[in-house]
Amino acid sequence: MTATADVTAAQTTTAALKAPIRRHGARRRYATWAWNALAMVLAVVIGFPIYWMLITAFKRSSDITTLTPQFWPAHPSLRGFSDVLHDPIFIDDMRNSAIITLSAVLISLVIGFFGAMAIARFRFLGRKVFIFAVLIVQMIPLLALTIPMSLLLDSVHLKNALLGVIIAYLMFSMPYTVWTLRTFIANVPPELDEAALVDGCSRWQVFYKIILPLVGPGLIATGVYGWILAWNEFVLANTLLLTNDKQTLMIYLLIFQSSPVHGADWSGLMAAATLTSLPVVVLFVIFQSRISAGLTAGAVKG
Amino acid sequence: MSIEIAPDEPVAERRRLVLDRRRGSRAGNLPYLLILPASLVLLAVAGWPLYKIITLSLQKQESGKYALFHNKGTTAFVGLRNFTNILSDSTFWTVLLRTVTFTAVNVALSLLLGMGIALLLNRVSRWARIILVAVLLFAWAVPSTVSTQIFYWLFSNQYGVVNYLLSEIPGVHMHGHDWFADPHQGLAVVTAVVVWGAIPLLAISLHAGITQVPRDTLEAARVDGAGPWQAFRSVTLPFLRPLLVILTTLSVIWDFGVFNQIWFMRNGHPEPGYQTLGIYMYSEGVGSSHYNFGAAVGVLMMLCLLGVMIFYIRQLFRIGDAA
Amino acid sequence: MKRRIVAVTTLAAAAAVIASACSSSSPSGTQPSTSKAAGLLSTSGAGKTISVWLQSDAQKGWPDVVNQANQRFEQATGAKVNVQWQQWSNYTTKLDSTFAGSSGIPDVVELGNTQTASYIAGGAFADLTAAKAQFENSGTWLQGLADSGTSPDGKLQAVPYYAGSRVVIYRKDLFQKAGVTTAPTTLDELFSALDKVKASKSSDPNFSAFYSPGKNWYAAMSFVYGAGGKIAEQQGGKWQGTLSSSEAQQGLTQWQKLSTQYSVGGATKDESDQDAIMSQGHVGAILGNGWELGSVIDKKTGNPALASKLATFPLPGTEAGKYTPSFLGGSDLAVPQKSANVGLGAEWIKIFTDTQSQTALAKFAIPNTTSLLSVYESQAQANESTGEAAKNTWFVPNTPNWANVESANILQNALESIATQKSSIADAAKSADDQIAKTLNAGG
């Protein structure tokens, strides 16, 4: 018997399984509560740095680094947030970041999905070369790329253009998408394709009617990844975008750091960082709940 | 139920062959059509810069910037001289060893904790899952520059929360302890940031993978008398293996080239004991405008990664062939 | 696709070579039709826009100075000014990649004065020598700043913008409570004053009588220069690190004493957050730029409650009346050689650095000319000390490779090992000397 045990056989046993599960219900409930408690402890530990970021954003500067740490702002102030929100540059940079990130992620998902379909479902000449190329590209250290990428975009007149940065970001988001989506597609049993083809679906219909909905979680996971990498990338954006009206949020955050003629505005920085992270969180909390509903429906059973 | 690893390949193989046979010529050019856009992107955005990096690494490192400003960085070809210079420098080997150790520790910790949390997410109530996932997403969304700054505060010698809390434990006097005086301790703090930043992606991806594990197979295993650990080992793990191979590969790539977390933890002045290859490449290469040198280090980093990951790449091709 | 891109780049590269071949013979030659016969400077800019890269220091500190210069420039030339605020972080990589290409080249850039030499050597800037006489106060520019903008063969490539010098910023109240009522005039007096301050706060284990972070090479090298030493010198065309000299080691010993006996918790840190630390109240004094006093008491970056308690004095020297020299930090302005508007860029620099602009700037930073130091000093008590300190300064070895000594953290690493007492002064100095020599003499 193999791990992908004969599905129909497993289904017939399901009914038999239900009774013992019910009998162990009480023990299970205690176990669940124990797991819940562990999850909350982890949430507190993992969340503490975020909590620290949040309360720092509300602190007076003289309360940020104190000998006895302030676990709650003694003199809460909205100064940091209001400075950031009243700064037109912040809004502009938010828009630039959104355009760049959204484009890079969507293009990566579309192109990457096709690429992943090809290597997950077909065997063809050059397939290994393609997989290898996708892998190698991810090994290129981003920092070594600043000058070559800059020269490349300069020669095609895409320096200081959002499009140039979008293209540059495809370099790390697209290969990752191909890679990860491939496994998600591979986990969809080929019998599904087969059945759909027999039912008269075209190849393309199989892609977007059968496989696409089933790899939803994978799309979200890879989309989140590409989004965060692009949203938080600094070196390339700072090198390729020259003017203030084109810069991204990561470049904006630098304004708060100390420089030769002024100290660091930490509560401003943490307020800006919070506002920078928030859209990402909100976006994916929304997506997560929407998609996970579909993914637990047991579509994989085939 | 004596299941060993690599269970589904023969089955998948058979299915695929059946499918291929039935499809016959209909598949035809389709795969090529599918990879065309991706290949174009790879060629345009990665191919040329990669070619340029290799070219730069084979050209003379001049101390000045004249060639850069007036000749697009083109200098005379000097063969492998940049490489022999780097490889004959003992610093490089120290840095390489440190990087390999750092990577191994970070990848292992990230994967273990990521897998643990992914499994936990599968066990907990809906509300607990939502809270933990929200925290994970938030942790993931915070830029590494900012999270590093926060960890730096938390571990500050006089004003840090960590030393403060540790000193609250009776008998422990950590106040004023400088975590960064000893690079080993300092890199442990860096590890905390790196792992903290890596867990969300790993946990969420693995959790998404786990939800795809066929319920019936798991329950069948349980009926056969498998305990939770056995069920995990014999069903979940093999099912997740392709995803794990990919996540491991990627974690190795990221941790091997880690930069931000070390750079900002040392406020842009990393001491020799903090040099990993990413830092080395920046402070000796790119940051000093030594782009040829930096490119050579970059090429060496890629070669090292390839060397380290031969095993994983072979795994990958096996999986790739099987699917 | 790939082939097309390669073809395009080759073409562009060829074009760039031709362009640079033409322009390097005469920087103003690229714009013969728009430059007036008067020489390098151009005032015919109708319909044009020049792009100016300034650090955001000006945006936060003295935006009005920039605005008035822009208005006068626009009136004088008819051209518009597009100021792009920059950040120091990753700035050299941005400049490098911009100057390597051919698009998006600004017409004026600001540079840190220790970075300028490497760009001058790289031929990044237009030669402004022909216009030097037309820059106001060019005869009285601060020496260190002017030197940093001049090429080894004496050509003016970058114009002094503003400077900063370091002084002792101290808590008057704490010093008085410890019985120190007059500012120390010698190093010995300083140390005995610090002894008193330290004794008066002996109950506070976190108290630094003088917070001196272990990576603050600006401070440490001041002691080296004050003791008669220097970082490096050129002999027979070769650079040699000279931190091992007995004078330099004497200076390092003084700095080590300051950093280990009077400073708590900063051994592995740099100076960037010393004003925030001072604002916490457990610090008696720091060696900082004049503006850092403002940071300590600023409500966004420090603690306004300390406003009346701070004062400054120049870092004393070994004998009374002889200060320990201060590092002359600052910025230069230059016109990129690939700029399409060299004449207009130079004209903007001329207006932004003239007496009117610099007088306005003197409220916020040390102006670029000794003739306006009195204006600067009259602004505030702190300025008297920094102005005084600006008269006796030291500067890094003015050579293109110096920037790499900074980027490789050679001095910081050596100093940290001295401050943490992980290695002896002699060993740390020797190791730094070797690395400095290797870096400065790198050929090519």
Listed range (B61-65, C81-85, C150-154, C180-184) with the worst mean pLDDT? B61-65
B interface mutation test: which of C259, C407, C417, C440 has the most B CBs within 10 A?
Answer: C407
- The H or E element spanning position C169 is strand C166-171
Listed range (B73-77, C66-70, C242-246) with the worst mean pLDDT? B73-77
Contact: C301, A67; criterion CB under 8 Å: no
Q: Who among B40, B70, B272 is closest to C1 (CB)?
A: B40
* Contacts with C206 from chain A: Cβ below 8 Å: 67
Q: Which residue has the tokens 């030769």?
A: A260
Please report which confidence band the pLDDT of residue B15 belongs to, taking 50, 70 and 90 as the band edges: very low
> B17 or A162, which is more confident?
A162
Show which of residues 188-247 on chain C sit within 8 Å of chain A, judged by CB atoms: 206
* Contacts with B137 from chain A: Cβ below 8 Å: 224, 280-281, 284-285, 288
Please report which confidence band the pLDDT of residue C37 belongs to, taking 50, 70 and 90 as the band edges: very low
Q: What is the pLDDT of residue A256?
A: 86
* Interface predicted TM-score of the whole assembly (ipTM), two decimals: 0.85
Please report which confidence band the pLDDT of residue B316 belongs to, taking 50, 70 and 90 as the band edges: low
Show which of residues 91-120 on chain C sit within 8 Å of chain A, judged by CB atoms: 93-94, 96-98, 100-104, 106, 112
Statement: residue B10 has pLDDT above 50: no
In this predicted model, what pLDDT tens digit does every residue of A65-85 receive, in sequence order? 888 898 999 889 999 899 999
> B23 or B155, which is more confident?
B155
Q: Who among C16, C267, C400 is closest to B64 (CB)?
A: C400
Q: Which chains touch A (3 or more CB pairs under 8 A)?
A: B, C
Q: Who among A243, A254, A263 is closest to C89 (CB)?
A: A254
Q: What is the pLDDT of residue C39?
A: 76
* Contacts with C204 from chain B: Cβ below 8 Å: none
Q: What is the pLDDT of residue A289?
A: 61
Show which of residues 180-239 on chain B sit within 8 Å of chain C, judged by CB atoms: 180-181
Q: What is the pLDDT of residue B5?
A: 36
Statement: residue C12 has pLDDT above 70: no
| C-alpha to C-alpha distance for B12 and A230, rounded to whole angstroms | 35
Q: What is the pLDDT of residue A280?
A: 82
Sheet with C166-171, side-by-side order of all strands:
C285-289, C166-171, C310-313
Q: What is the pLDDT of residue B27?
A: 61
DSSP character at residue C324? P
Q: Which amino acid is at B230?
A: Q
Statement: residue C23 has pLDDT above 50: no
Percent of chain A with pLDDT over 90: 33
Across the range C165-169, mean pLDDT stands at 93
3-state secondary structure of C285: strand
* Contacts with C279 from chain A: Cβ below 8 Å: 61-62
Alpha carbon C128 to its chain's center:
21
* Contacts with B61 from chain C: Cβ below 8 Å: 444
Contact B35, A115 (CB under 8 A): yes
Listed range (A111-115, A220-224, A227-231) with the worst mean pLDDT? A220-224
Q: What is the pLDDT of residue A282?
A: 82
Please report which confidence band the pLDDT of residue B14 belongs to, taking 50, 70 and 90 as the band edges: very low
Q: What is the pLDDT of residue A7?
A: 37
Task: Please tell me which residue of chain B has the smallest CA distance to A164.
Answer: B45
Statement: residue B153 has pLDDT above 80: yes
| C-alpha to C-alpha distance for B304 and A256, rounded to whole angstroms | 38
Contact: C298, A61; criterion CB under 8 Å: yes
Task: Please tell me which residue of chain A has the smallest CA distance to B239.
Answer: A3
Across the range C40-50, mean pLDDT stands at 89
DSSP character at residue A207? I
Q: What is the pLDDT of residue B93?
A: 96
In this predicted model, what pLDDT tens digit does every residue of C417-439 receive, in sequence order? 999 999 999 999 999 999 999 99
Q: How many CB atoms lie within 10 A of CB C74?
A: 16
Contact: A259, C56; criterion CB under 8 Å: yes
| C-alpha to C-alpha distance for A78 and A88, rounded to whole angstroms | 18
Statement: residue C382 has pLDDT above 90: no
Please report which confidence band the pLDDT of residue B1 belongs to, taking 50, 70 and 90 as the band edges: very low
Q: How many CB atoms lie within 10 A of CB C300?
A: 20
Statement: residue B47 has pLDDT above 80: yes
Beta bridge partners of C186: C317
Statement: residue C444 has pLDDT above 80: no
Statement: residue A248 has pLDDT above 60: yes
Across the range C132-144, mean pLDDT stands at 92
Task: Please tell me which residue of chain A has the smallest CA distance to B32.
Answer: A118
How close A242 gets to chain C, by Cα (Å)?
A: 7
Beta bridge partners of C394: C327
> C43 or C228, which is more confident?
C228
Task: Please tell me which residue of chain C has the smallest CA distance to B75.
Answer: C444
Contact B153, B160 (CB under 8 A): yes
* Contacts with B178 from chain C: Cβ below 8 Å: 265, 267-268
Going by C-beta distance under 8 Å and a sequence separation of 6 or more, which residues neighbour residue C55?
A259, A260, C85, C86, C87, C88, C91, C110, C331
How close B171 gets to chain C, by Cα (Å)?
A: 18
Mean residue pLDDT of chain B comes to 85
Going by C-beta distance under 8 Å and a sequence separation of 6 or more, which residues neighbour residue C372?
C137, C355, C358, C359, C362
Statement: residue B156 has pLDDT above 80: yes
Q: What is the pLDDT of residue A292?
A: 52
Beta bridge partners of C393: C326
Task: Please tell me which residue of chain C has the smallest CA distance to A151.
Answer: C101
Across the range C127-149, mean pLDDT stands at 92
Q: What is the pLDDT of residue C351?
A: 96
Q: What is the pLDDT of residue A225?
A: 80
Q: How far apart are the first and last CA of chain A?
A: 18
Q: Does B143 lie at the interface with C, CB-CB under 8 angstroms?
A: no
What interhelical angle do C342-352 and C63-77 show, nearest 10? 130
A interface mutation test: which of B43, B165, B211, B216 has the most A CBs within 10 A?
Answer: B216
Across the range C33-61, mean pLDDT stands at 80
Q: How many CB atoms lie within 10 A of CB A196?
A: 18
Across the range C376-388, mean pLDDT stands at 85
Strands C326-327 and C393-394: parallel
* Contacts with C84 from chain A: Cβ below 8 Å: 242-244
| C-alpha to C-alpha distance for C175 and C285, rounded to whole angstroms | 9
Buried b (16+ CB within 10 A) or exposed e, C224-243: bbbbebbbbeeeeeebbbbb
Q: Who among B61, B181, B291 is closest to C268 (CB)?
A: B181
Percent of chain C with pLDDT over 70: 91
In this predicted model, what pLDDT tens digit does every residue of B59-110 receive, in sequence order? 988 878 888 888 887 888 988 999 999 999 999 999 999 999 999 999 999 9
* Contacts with C119 from chain B: Cβ below 8 Å: 65
Q: What is the pLDDT of residue C11?
A: 38
Task: Please tell me which residue of chain B has the smallest CA distance to A52.
Answer: B150
* Contacts with A155 from chain C: Cβ below 8 Å: 5, 8-9, 12-13, 101
Q: Does B39 lie at the interface with C, CB-CB under 8 angstroms?
A: no
In this predicted model, what pLDDT tens digit does every residue of A160-182 receive, in sequence order? 999 999 999 998 889 988 988 88
| C-alpha to C-alpha distance for A163 and A100, rounded to whole angstroms | 7
Contact C339, C95 (CB under 8 A): no
Q: Which amino acid is at C264?
A: V
How close A237 gets to chain C, by Cα (Å)?
A: 10
Contact: B69, C99; criterion CB under 8 Å: yes
3-state secondary structure string, A62-107? Answer: HHCCCCCCCCCCCCCCCHHHHHHHCCHHHHHHHHHHHHHHHHHHHH
Q: Who among B48, B64, B158 is closest to C206 (CB)?
A: B158
Q: What is the pLDDT of residue A2?
A: 37
> A62 or B295, which is more confident?
B295
Across the range C12-37, mean pLDDT stands at 38
Going by C-beta distance under 8 Å and a sequence separation of 6 or more, which residues neighbour residue B19?
A190, A193, A194
Q: Who among A46, A118, A171 is closest to B135 (CB)?
A: A46
